[in-house]
């Protein structure tokens, strides 16, 4: 399954992504996490992204597109993934479409978590308090001032994706103001409906292909049957033709073998041999007329014998 989680900062994307990953065995791909890791590691990308992130702005499209292109190539992403924080702009969504198309993949759904903006500040404040209590490092962009800039960036650059994916019939909007468990249940409910609809469509496509295949098989079989019927119909005519040709040839054989000795002389024995040869020729002609190459060969052989014998006697 390939999903996108869409929603403003604090909508609960990270929380729900974690649950979906556990349930469906797909990998979480969070550009925010990847960029934070790059910043922490001090990679060239991290150095480029650090200040932008801390100010609540968006890292350039080509940077995040590059990160995602590399990441979905990894073997663990083959089973499916859930994108959290990407795409965040229309050009990123278009780049993702291209990336998936090149790999013959498609998105299953885009889950939008819709929340009241007034609740977001409270949620982020709660997150900061929890992280501090756990002794975890608090994100540099989790301050009220930066949050309002992140929200502004979301409204201006990311919200157009709601329209983008609803046009492509991929958008599933969930009320993100419910409890975590309720949101999870609702996401699962809409996703299972999508999966069932996809399976039905796949079954239909298979059935269509099978019917097509069956029709093609039946057409091929009837073509074969028609061909053999045509052959069968042609066979008697062929046989008759062959019989006629064999009879003609045999007659020629008879007259040839009969002619030669007559020309050669008038001795009694030779005449007898001629008669015998002619008789053999006739016989061969008859058997040849009855069909079969064997008898044709025999006739030729018989004629050869007769001719040889007659030549010897001469
Ligand atoms: P949020 O909690 O606001 O959804 P994330 O953890 O997803 O934020 O990302 C934190 C910051 O990382 C963003 O404010 C932004 O600067 C940067 N970032 C993450 N994903 C993207 C992206 N797809 N495009 C541009 N910038 C991004």
Distance CA 278, CA 272 (A): 10
Nearest atom (ligand 1) to Cα of 92: 23
Q: What pLDDT, in 10s, does the model give residues 210-267?
A: 777 777 787 787 778 767 766 665 665 555 566 666 666 666 654 454 444 444 444 5
Active site residue 212: no
Selecting among 2, 50, 150, 280, the annotated active-site residue is 150
Among 7, 9, 12, 31, the mutation site with the greatest number of ligand 1 atoms within 8 A of its Cβ is 31
Q: What pLDDT, in 10s, does the model give residues 90-121?
A: 999 999 999 999 999 999 999 999 999 888 98
Are 174 and 187 within 8 A, CB to CB?
Answer: yes
Q: How much is the pLDDT for 214?
A: 72
Are 103 and 75 within 8 A, CB to CB?
Answer: no
Residue nearest to atom 18 of ligand 1 (CA): 32
Nearest atom (ligand 1) to Cα of 11: 4
Give every residue of the chain whose pLDDT is below 50, as ranges. 254-255, 257-266, 291-292, 295-296, 299-300, 303, 306-307, 310-314
Q: How much is the pLDDT for 263?
A: 43
Residue 214 structure tokens: 């069956």
Q: How much is the pLDDT for 314?
A: 39
Selecting among 18, 123, 139, 270, the annotated active-site residue is 139
Active site residue 189: no
This prediction's pTM: 0.67
Q: How much is the pLDDT for 284?
A: 53
Burial of residue 269 (CB within 10 Å: 0-12, 13-18, 19+) is exposed
Q: CB within 6 Å of ligand 1 — which residues? A: 9, 31-32, 35, 52-53, 56-59, 64, 85-86, 88, 92, 141, 150
Selecting among 127, 243, 270, 309, the annotated active-site residue is 127
């Amino acid at each position: 399954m390939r999903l996108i989680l869409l929603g403003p900062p604090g909508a609960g994307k990270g929380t729900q992504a974690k649950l979906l990953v556990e349930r469906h065995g797909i990998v979480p791909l969070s550009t925010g996490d990847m960029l934070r890791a790059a910043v922490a590691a001090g990679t060239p990308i991290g150095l480029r992204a650090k200040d932008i992130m801390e100010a609540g702005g968006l890292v350039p499209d080509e940077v995040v597109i590059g990160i995602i292109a590399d990441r979905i190539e990894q073997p663990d992403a083959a089973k499916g993934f859930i994108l959290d924080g990407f795409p965040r702009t229309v050009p990123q969504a278009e780049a993702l479409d291209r990336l998936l198309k090149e790999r013959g993949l498609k998105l299953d759904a885009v889950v939008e978590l819709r929340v009241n903006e007034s609740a977001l500040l409270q949620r982020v404040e709660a997150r900061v308090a929890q992280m501090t209590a756990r002794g975890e490092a608090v994100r540099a962009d989790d301050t009220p001032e930066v949050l309002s800039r992140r929200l502004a960036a979301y409204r201006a650059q990311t919200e157009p994706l709601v329209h983008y994916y609803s046009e492509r019939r991929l958008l599933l909007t969930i009320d993100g103001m419910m409890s975590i468990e309720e949101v999870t249940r609702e996401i699962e409910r809409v996703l299972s409906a999508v999966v069932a609809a996809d399976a039905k469509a796949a079954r239909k496509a298979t059935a269509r292909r099978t019917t097509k295949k069956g029709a093609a098989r039946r057409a091929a079989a009837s073509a074969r049957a028609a061909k053999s019927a045509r052959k069968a119909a042609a066979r008697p005519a062929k046989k008759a033709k062959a019989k006629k040709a064999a009879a003609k040839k045999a007659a020629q054989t008879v007259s040839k073998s009969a002619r030669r000795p007559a020309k050669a002389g008038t001795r009694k024995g030779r005449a007898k041999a001629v008669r015998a040869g002619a008789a053999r020729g006739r016989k061969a002609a008859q058997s040849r007329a009855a069909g079969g190459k064997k008898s044709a060969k025999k006739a030729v052989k018989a004629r050869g014998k007769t001719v040889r014998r007659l030549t010897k006697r001469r």
